[in-house]
Amino acid sequence: MNKFAVLCATLLFSSLLSWTPLHATEAVYDIASMLEEMNTIQNNDTLLAQALQDGKTRAQFCFHCHGTDGNSRRDHIPNLAQQNATYLFTQFEHFVTGERKDYVMNRLAGSLTRNDRIAIALHFADQVVTPREQPVAPSAAGERLYNSLCFACHGRHGHGDQQYPRIAGQPYEFLEKTLLSFLHKTDARKSSPMIGVMQSLSEQQVRDVAAHVAHMP
């Protein structure tokens, strides 16, 4: 990185951390009504074109980490491309209330207004997950585990639906970190239903299933 890029990165990071959410107390919104509004927008070409443009502007800040097209730029950061809207809205709320813990996201989520969340979800829903280089090979043991333990909720292809998140093609490091933290019952996402699901697995099985999911298209 040249000096200018280092300076920009430093300024960006310090402004992010000192960014006080203006509407933190109102930052929990009705998810059903947001989905309804999103649906109305998606069924109207003019509204959709405008919302996608807004979404791209409002998501500028997210691109540094989650990528312009929602394909993460760092292995410990999740893709947002093709993620389902209910899941995105729920996670914004979990970050705001502190139920899910992440230093950056806890600060950022509180600054997103209702309209920001809708526009950002529309932008990322419109993007496609692209295969990335993963640090581990696909795992046959992981595939067997997936097909017996995970498919019932996340779907045969790991694409989820309005109730369950898409997990296919996430970076391996993010999957391993997340699943191990469920296994070890850390307080990072302490009321997640995944904690119960993971208790029957060993650490090796967690790594196997993560390797399989990372390579799912």
What does the binding site for ligand HEC look like in residue numbers (CB under 6 A)?
Answer: 59, 61-62, 64-66, 76-78, 80, 88, 90-91, 100, 102, 104-105, 108, 112, 120, 145, 149-150, 152-154, 164-165, 167, 175, 178-179, 189, 192-194, 197, 209, 213
Nearer to ligand HEC, 131 or 193 (CB): 193
Backbone angle region of 202, left / alpha / beta, with phi > 0 → left and psi within -120 to 50 → alpha: beta
Nearer to ligand HEC, 41 or 209 (CB): 209
Q: To the nearest whole angstrom, how small is the minimum distance from the Cβ of residue 193 to ligand HEC?
A: 5
Q: To the nearest whole angstrom, how small is the minimum distance from the Cβ of residue 204 to ligand HEC?
A: 13
Whole-number Å distance between alpha carbons of 125 and 35:
13
Nearer to ligand HEC, 41 or 118 (CB): 118
Residue 95, burial from CB neighbour count under 10 angstroms (0-12, 13-18, 19+): buried
Whole-number Å distance between alpha carbons of 92 and 105:
8
Q: To the nearest whole angstrom, how small is the minimum distance from the Cβ of residue 99 to ligand HEC?
A: 9
Nearer to ligand HEC, 15 or 44 (CB): 15
129 closest CA partner among 46, 214, 51, 187: 214
Q: To the nearest whole angstrom, how small is the minimum distance from the Cβ of residue 209 to ligand HEC?
A: 5
Contact criterion met (CB below 8 Å) for 23 and 113: yes
- Total residues belonging to the chain: 217
Q: To the nearest whole angstrom, how small is the minimum distance from the Cβ of residue 174 to ligand HEC?
A: 7
Q: To the nearest whole angstrom, how small is the minimum distance from the Cβ of residue 43 to ligand HEC?
A: 23
Nearer to ligand HEC, 32 or 44 (CB): 32
Nearer to ligand HEC, 45 or 103 (CB): 103
Contact criterion met (CB below 8 Å) for 139 and 211: yes
Whole-number Å distance between alpha carbons of 163 and 178:
19
**CA dihedral for 136, 81, 33, 44, sign (positive or negative):** negative
